[in-house]
Amino acid sequence: MSKSNEHAFTHFGPGPYVFEKVTTNVSIPAPGVPGKPGGSCDHCSTGIMYEFWFHTANDVRFKVGCDCALKADPQSQRHAKQWRSNHVKEQRRARNEAKRKQRRARNEAKRKQRQEVWAAEGKAKAEALLLLDTELAEALEYDHRIIADIKAKIFQWGTISDKQRELVLKLASQVSKPAKVYNALPSDVEAKRVRIKGKVLALKYKPCQYRGEVLKMLVEFEHGHGLLCSKVWGSVPDEATTVYLEQQDEDIEAGRETRTIFEFMQGRVIAFDARVKVSGDDSTFGFFSRPTKFDAFAGE
């Protein structure tokens, strides 16, 4: 066989030259310095970073660079080409990922910078707002979850809506007032029907097995000559619905705006007779039943 027809790897030994693997050999002179090829091609002595390992028919192993690897037999060439193709894709993915990270870092830095500017502007606007509105500034100092949340939003955006301001003042007024202390119900309250007089604190529809939904109410029951008060819960008397409908007709005839039964009853001082049973868990709370002799205008 003439020398020109000899395989490039003949001097390593007889073929076929079987491809084994690719290893990386990188020399790093100092930390932070880009790596350099740490090996050399056994065929052309060129410095190489990626070592393509082959072995001959008599198990002689040798390494070559990616260019010399293409001089192997067709099957080994396919392995080498496939590795180079995958390596190029991996490098491209790595570069694109590095660019994405840099872009995300830049966007995050810009976002933080904008937030700092907005925070500074919001704080300045909030301080100017509170200097002019001392009533609001005082209300924001109360310890309340909703007030604290609105205060944080004011210092973030430098503004507050009229409804938010009303809510803050309302909550501050409630917090500033001492919590009402309720007293135990009289010991003989269950012995007979009693006259209950007090303010309606809340109303709510509750499901009923026999009547679908029933309107219930929570009443602040005044007793002990009006010096003590407890809370009782029970059904709104049917007479209350009759009084409400009559009042609604009067409003319509007078051209006044009509109200719902909730608006009509909420906060109204009423009176009625009922049986009361004290709660087993709280002596200041009771349940009334069979209400009669309803008076919707007991507070007038």
- For 148-183, the pLDDT digits (tens) are 999 999 998 889 999 999 999 999 988 887 777 788
How many C-beta atoms lie closer than 10 Å to residue 15's C-beta? 15
Each residue's pLDDT tens digit, 218-230: 999 888 766 678 8
Q: Confirm whether 83 is domain-assigned.
A: no
Q: What pLDDT sits at residue 31?
A: 60
Where are any strands of DSSP class E within 84-226?
Answer: 194-208, 212-223
Do 264 and 247 touch, CB atoms closer than 8 A? yes
Same-domain check for residues 199 and 291 = yes
Q: For the chain, what is the domain count?
A: 3
H or E element in which residue 216 lies: strand 212-223
Q: Confirm whether 101 is domain-assigned.
A: no
Return d(Cα 51, Cα 130) in angstroms, integer: 72
Q: What pLDDT sits at residue 101?
A: 92
Return d(Cα 284, Cα 223) in angstroms, integer: 12
Asked which of 128, 147, 176 is the last residue of a domain, the reply is 176
Each residue's pLDDT tens digit, 55-113: 887 888 888 887 787 777 666 667 667 777 777 788 788 889 989 999 999 999 999 99
Q: What pLDDT sits at residue 73?
A: 65
Same-domain check for residues 245 and 282 = yes
* pLDDT value at 8 more than 80: no
Q: How confident is the model at residue 276 (pLDDT cuts 50, 70, 90)?
A: very high
Q: Confirm whether 56 is domain-assigned.
A: yes
Q: What pLDDT sits at residue 145?
A: 92
3-class secondary structure, 210: coil
Q: What is the CATH number of the domain that holds 272?
A: 2.40.50
Query: Out of 42-51, 69-78, 194-203, 251-260, which region has the weakest mean confidence (pLDDT)?
Result: 69-78
- CA 285 remoteness from chain centre: 37
249, with CB counted inside 10 A (0-12, 13-18, 19+), is: exposed
Same-domain check for residues 206 and 290 = yes
* pLDDT value at 2 more than 50: no
* Amino acid identity, position 143: D
Q: What average pLDDT does range 11-35 have in this prediction?
A: 68
Do 129 and 158 touch, CB atoms closer than 8 A? yes
CA distances from 98 to 86, 90, 92, 102, 109 (A): 18, 12, 10, 6, 16
Same-domain check for residues 170 and 200 = no
**Between these two residues, 265 and 91, which has the higher pLDDT value?**
265
Same-domain check for residues 133 and 212 = no
* pLDDT value at 32 more than 60: no
Q: What average pLDDT does range 184-205 have in this prediction?
A: 89
Do 168 and 187 touch, CB atoms closer than 8 A? no
Asked which of 19, 37, 72 is the last residue of a domain, the reply is 72
Q: What pLDDT sits at residue 1?
A: 42
DSSP state of 137: H
User: 129 Cβ partners below 8 Å, 6+ apart?
Assistant: 136, 154, 158, 159, 160
Do 294 and 241 touch, CB atoms closer than 8 A? no
Q: Confirm whether 103 is domain-assigned.
A: no
CA distances from 189 to 199, 226, 233, 256, 272 (A): 19, 15, 14, 41, 14
Return d(Cα 151, Cα 164) in angstroms, integer: 10
Parent domain of 30: 3-72
Q: Confirm whether 98 is domain-assigned.
A: no
Return d(Cα 294, Cα 180) in angstroms, integer: 26
